[in-house]
């Protein structure tokens, strides 16, 4: 699992490529979510279905800081290309929340749920609990930011809708990933 522990040139290059890969898939997942679920938007930045949350869970659980860096970069690209290009404070803080809240949730899940860091033995119940923690922390931080910055006038309602959207989006991504992994494992066993 990638961590920023050794600072060799090849290690830094590997982390940067990994972060850019994470940013690329996060950015396009965000665009896909807007395309598919824009009609389910509650308010600016708050949706009843938010698929990128599932990708945040996967990227941060698997790649930790490198995944969070990828989410940050992907978020910046999304906010600058699809929002106000002159609102640097909003775009940067939103990117930091998009990346930082899941990373904080991961550390809480590892400490409180004694999550196996390499995820080899994770089962459905802890995965749902972890997803709920990711969805809740992200919803609270993001809703607080949108309310404070004046992009939303409904903090409680926005946080609730965002939690639901984050959780549903994460379930969609994690279910798809689980099915893909099952298909991959059965295909490799036959070889």
Confidence of residue 117 (pLDDT cuts 50, 70, 90): low
Alpha helices in 38-154 (DSSP H): 52-63, 65-82, 88-113, 124-149
Work out the average pLDDT over 120-127: 72
Please, how many CA atoms are within 13 Å of residue 120, restricted to the half-sphere of its CB?
A: 2
Q: Are 142 and 53 in contact (CB under 8 A)?
A: no
Q: Are 161 and 46 in contact (CB under 8 A)?
A: yes
On whether residue 46 sits in a domain, the answer given is: no
Would the pLDDT of 126 be above 80? no
On whether residue 19 sits in a domain, the answer given is: yes
On whether residue 164 sits in a domain, the answer given is: yes
- The pLDDT value recorded for residue 5 is 53
User: Model-level pTM?
Assistant: 0.86
Q: Classify 77 as helix, strand or coil.
A: helix
Cα(130)–Cα(183) distance, integer angstroms: 24
On whether residue 44 sits in a domain, the answer given is: no
Share of the chain above pLDDT 70, in %: 92
Would the pLDDT of 112 be above 70? yes
On whether residue 182 sits in a domain, the answer given is: yes
Highest mean pLDDT range out of 20-34, 97-111, 169-183?
Answer: 20-34
Q: How many domains, in total, are found in the chain?
A: 1
Q: How far is CA 124 from CA 104, 113, 173, 174, in A?
A: 21, 13, 14, 10
* Domain housing 70: 9-26+51-190
What's the chain's average pLDDT? Answer: 87
On whether residue 38 sits in a domain, the answer given is: no
Would the pLDDT of 138 be above 60? yes
Q: For 16-25, 63-72, 86-95, 128-137, which range has the lowest pLDDT when averaged over its residues?
A: 128-137
On whether residue 175 sits in a domain, the answer given is: yes
Q: Are 131 and 58 in contact (CB under 8 A)?
A: no
Q: Are 103 and 53 in contact (CB under 8 A)?
A: no
Would the pLDDT of 124 be above 60? yes
On whether residue 3 sits in a domain, the answer given is: no
């Amino acid at each position: 699992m990638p961590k920023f522990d050794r600072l060799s040139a090849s290690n830094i290059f590997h982390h940067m490529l990994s972060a850019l890969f994470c940013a690329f898939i996060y950015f396009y997942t965000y665009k896909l979510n807007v395309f598919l679920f824009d009609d389910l938007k509650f308010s600016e930045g708050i949706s009843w279905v938010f698929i990128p949350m599932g990708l945040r869970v996967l990227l941060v659980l698997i790649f930790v800081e490198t995944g969070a860096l990828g989410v940050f970069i992907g978020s910046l690209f999304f906010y600058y290309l699809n929002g106000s290009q002159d609102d640097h404070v909003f775009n940067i803080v939103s990117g930091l929340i998009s990346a930082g809240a899941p990373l904080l949730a991961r550390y809480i899940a590892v400490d409180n749920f004694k999550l196996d860091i390499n995820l080899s033995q994770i089962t459905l119940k802890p995965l749902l609990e972890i997803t709920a923690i990711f969805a809740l922390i992200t919803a609270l931080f993001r809703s607080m930011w949108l309310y404070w910055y004046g992009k939303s006038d409904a903090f409680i309602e926005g946080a609730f809708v965002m939690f639901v959207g984050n959780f549903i989006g994460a379930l969609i991504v994690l279910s798809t990933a689980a099915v893909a992994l099952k298909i991959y494992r059965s295909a490799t066993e036959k070889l």
